[in-house]
Each structure stands twice: as structure tokens, then as C-alpha cells.
Amino acid sequence: MEPMKTTAPPATAVASFADVSKAYGRVRAVDGLTLDLHPGETVALLGPNGAGKSSTLDLLLGLRTPDSGRISVFGKSPQAAIAAGHVGAMLQSGGLMEGVRVREIVGLACDLHPKPYPVDEVMDRAGIAQIADRMVDKLSGGQEQRVRFALATAGAADLIVLDEPTTGMDVTARQAFWSTMREQAGQGRAVLFATHYLEEADAIADRVLVLHKGRLLADGTAAEIKAKAGARRIAFDLECEIDEAALRGLPFLASLSLSGTTVRIQSHDADATVHALYGLGCYPRNLEVSGLGLEQAFVAITEAEEARTS
């Protein structure tokens, strides 16, 4: 009799980067990146301007070749995976074809896709049915983004790659966009998106990657990234005059800001900071201690790295 298997087999990676580097002259855009993406995962790629997010996505899509390391997408080269229809992509810019109507460009994307969806379905999902007859060069920024979204979802791809997909979209378009992406991930597709909207990453992503100068600084759930930042927020009001220098002398302080009588602190050990605060002889009112938001965690992690490397 076969022994009973007690553990599930490891999910095969949708895409893998193995020690991938890419430089432009002296700029190391991607520096020793090792990473696996898995089916059904929604992954946010974060990083300050110039961190290497677009370069990473370009490498994944075979638009650029790594100087060293290996990238595989569904066990193939990125180009072969794209030709096989495994990958849908929505890039940051790049003009849409001129002189054609919305329906024509979406129709073309469907015709070219090895596993296309019906054109009307694609247009409905992207919320562009009403502008089907408009020329693509006469669209607003948000409408253009919706058309790009339609092009990325013209067929059944198993990996969807999005570079700042919701830039320029209004609230309704954003919500519709993310609900479609959740649906896609729910069907087992992997979704990788680069963004500067940290609330979006916090709300949408199962996994967050933080890039800085081409290197992976953090990889985990939003909660893990917040914990990694290793700081907590303390906010309170002062009811008596207190010397700012005394506040700045509190232990474990990462940052301090004063606004009127309100003090906001980030501390690496909130218990110790609050304990010392009571020792200053002026009791804080409305004391709140909370974890960092993803945005503050992101800033704390990237600033710490900046300080370490500069």
C-alpha cells in the first residue's frame, strides 16, 4: 500500500528569478534578485522612485535581458511563456496604437491571444463598453488605463503583471479593477503589481515585496512588513509645558513630531518609551499606542536602508 501523504506537494512557481541582475551603465537597476511567485497569489511590488520595479517587470516580461541570473516563467523563458499566452501585462505607459477605435484595439488583442475571451466580455469587465467607438488617442488618462487593463485581460493568462495599474483611475474604476483582479487570483492566477499606493497594497495584496536600489528589502504579508519595521506609533496630548529636548531624549525614539500640544512618536520599544514619558513629570492625555501603517513601515524600512548604505 502507498504510504499516506501528509503534506501537500509544494506549489510550482509561476515565475522564478534566480540571482537576477540588470545594470544600465553604472546604475544597478536590479541587483541579485531571487524570488518565486505562486499560483493564486496577489503580490504588490513597492519601492521608492528608481528602486527597480519597472525594470523587474520588464525582465519578467522578457522586454529586457538580465546581465546575469535566470528568469523562468512557467518553466520557460519569458518570451516563450508570453507567446504561449501564459502572461497578461499592463505597463505604465507606452502609447496605445493610434488611429483605431477602442473596440478595434481590444478586438486585435483578443485575436492575437492564444486563449482569448469574447471581446464584449473583455470590454464589459474593463468598463469600456460605453466608449467602444471612441478613437484611442482621444481618451482621458483614466479611460486609457481601462483600455490597457482590457488589453492585459484579453485572454486567459495565468500570470498578470501590472505596472502602476490604477494611476489616473477614479474611485469607481479602481474598485471595479481590483474586484476583477481578486476574481482572477481566486481562479488560481498570480497577479503581480507595482504601485505607489500603499493603502492599495495593504488592502489587496497577499504578499508585499519592498525593493530598494534593485535589492529585495522585505518579502512578506503586509502585517509582517509592518512588524519588520520594528516600530510602533505613540500619540498623546500634553497638558503642561514640556521641554522638546526632554521629549527627544526619550528612549527608543525613531521619530518625533510636535503639532500644538499633540505629540506623535515612533518608537522601537513603545513600552519603554511610555514608561520614561511618565517619568518626565507631565502626564500625557489621550494616549494611543498602535502599530505602523504599511506606509510608515515602508518609509521606516527604506530610510533605515538608505542610512545603512549611504
Ligand X SMILES: Nc1ncnc2c1ncn2[C@@H]1O[C@H](COP(=O)(O)OP(=O)(O)OP(=O)(O)O)[C@@H](O)[C@H]1O
Binding site for ligand X (CB under 6 A): 24, 27, 29, 47, 49-55
Give the torsion through C-alpha atoms of 51, 55, 56, 59, to 10 deg.
Answer: -160
- Can you tell me which residue has the cell 484595439? 105
Instruction: Give me the least distance between CB of 105 and ligand X, in Å please.
Output: 24
Minimum CB distance to ligand X smaller for 286 or for 310? 310
Those residues whose C-beta lies under 8 Å from the C-beta of residue 92, and which sit 6 or more positions away, are 54, 163, 164, 167
Q: Toward ligand X, which CB reaches closer, 158 or 202?
A: 202
Residue 42 forms beta bridges with which residues?
Answer: 191
CB of 31 to ligand X, least distance (A): 10
Measured over the CA atoms of residue 100, residue 105, residue 144 and residue 73, the dihedral's sign is negative
Q: Are strands 207-212 and 215-220 parallel, antiparallel or unpaired?
A: antiparallel
DSSP label at residue 67: S
Nearer to ligand X, 52 or 78 (CB): 52
Nearer to ligand X, 47 or 78 (CB): 47
Q: In angstroms, what is the minimal distance from the CB of 54 to ligand X?
A: 3
Cβ proximity to ligand X: between 52 and 107 the closer is 52
Exposed, middle or buried: residue 299 (CB in 10 Å: 0-12, 13-18, 19+)? middle
Tell me how far, at minimum, the Cβ of 198 lies from ligand X, in Å.
13
Min dist CB 304 to ligand X, Å, is 18
Cβ nearer to ligand X, comparing 50 with 168: 50
Least separation, in Å, of the C-beta of 214 and ligand X?
7
DSSP string, 177-225: HHHHHHHHHHTT-EEEEE-S-HHHHHHH-SEEEEEETTEEEEEE-HHHH
- Ramachandran sector of residue 215 (left: φ over 0; alpha: ψ -120 to 50; beta: rest): beta
Cβ 24 to ligand X shortest distance, Å: 3
* Residue 232 contacts residue 267 (beta carbons within 8 Å): yes
Q: Report the residue number, 47 or 284, with the smaller CB distance to ligand X.
A: 47
Q: What is the distance between the alpha carbons of residues 32 and 105, in angstroms, rounded to a whole number?
A: 38
From the list 140, 141, 128, the residue with the least C-alpha distance to 102 is 128
Cβ proximity to ligand X: between 16 and 56 the closer is 56
Cβ distance to ligand X smaller for residue 33 or 81 = 33
- In whole angstroms, the minimum distance from the beta carbon of 33 to ligand X comes to 11
Asked if 270 contacts 234 with a C-beta cutoff of 8 angstroms, the reply is yes
Q: How far is the CB of 279 from ligand X (least distance, A)?
A: 44
Burial class (CB in 10 A: 0-12, 13-18, 19+), 291: middle
Beta bridge partners of 21: 68
